[in-house]
Amino acid sequence: MVKKVFSLIVVILLLSATGCSLMKPQSDLIIPTPPAVDATPGLLVPNEAGELVTDPVSDIVPTVDPAVESLITEVSQQQLMAYVRQLESFGTRNAFSDTQSETFGIGAARRWIFNEFVRVGGGRLTVEFQDFPLTYNGFSTEQSNVVATLPGKGGGDGVLVLMAHYDNRSVDVTDGVSRATGANDNGSGVALLLETARIMSSRDWNQTIVFLATSAEEQGSFGARYYAENAFLDSKNIISALNYDGVGGRAGIPQNVRLYAVDFLTSVHGALGRYYEYVGGLYLPTFPVVIYDALDREGRWGDHREFVVAGFPAIRVIESVEDPDLLNSNRDTWDLIDYSYLQRVAQLNVAVAANLAGGPQQPAPPIIVPMAEPGAYLLTWPVTPDAAGYAISFRPVNSLYYPTFRFVKAVHAGNVALTGLNPNETYAVSIAALNERGLLSGFSVEQFVGPEAATLGGALQGVAQP
pLDDT tens readout for residues 215-254: 999 999 999 999 999 999 999 999 999 999 999 999 999 9
How far is the C-alpha of 243 from the C-alpha of 249, rounded, in Å? Answer: 16
pLDDT tens readout for residues 292-351: 999 999 888 899 999 999 999 999 999 999 999 898 899 999 999 999 999 999 999 999
Per-residue model confidence (pLDDT) at position 50: 58
pLDDT tens readout for residues 357-415: 999 999 999 999 999 999 999 999 999 999 999 999 999 998 888 999 999 999 888 89
35 pLDDT higher than 60? no
Note the Cα 150 to chain centre separation in Å.
16
Per the document, the length of the chain is 466
Find the DSSP H helices in 181-221.
188-200
456 pLDDT higher than 80? no
**Mean of pLDDT over the chain:** 87
Among 25-29, 88-92, 113-117, 201-205, which stretch is predicted with the lowest mean pLDDT?
Answer: 25-29
Question: How many other CB atoms are found less than 10 A from the CB of residue 78?
Answer: 9
Question: What CATH architecture does domain 41-61+360-466 belong to?
Answer: Sandwich (2.60)
Q: Are 47 and 412 in contact (CB under 8 A)?
A: yes
Question: Exposed, middle or buried by CB within 10 Å (0-12, 13-18, 19+), for 416?
Answer: buried
Question: What CATH architecture does domain 5-27+66-358 belong to?
Answer: 3-Layer(aba) Sandwich (3.40)
Per-residue model confidence (pLDDT) at position 154: 83
Reported as type and span, the H/E element at residue 397 is none
Average pLDDT, integer, range 20-45: 33
Q: Are 419 and 444 in contact (CB under 8 A)?
A: no
200 pLDDT higher than 90? yes
Residue type, 157: D
Per-residue model confidence (pLDDT) at position 172: 92
Q: How confident is the model at residue 255 (pLDDT cuts 50, 70, 90)?
A: very high
* pLDDT, greater one: 453 or 440: 440
Per-residue model confidence (pLDDT) at position 56: 85
Per-residue model confidence (pLDDT) at position 44: 29
How far is the C-alpha of 317 from the C-alpha of 200, rounded, in Å? Answer: 19
Average pLDDT, integer, range 59-69: 93
Per-residue model confidence (pLDDT) at position 55: 87
Per-residue model confidence (pLDDT) at position 412: 86
Per-residue model confidence (pLDDT) at position 162: 98
Domain ranges (residues) in the chain: 5-27+66-358, 41-61+360-466
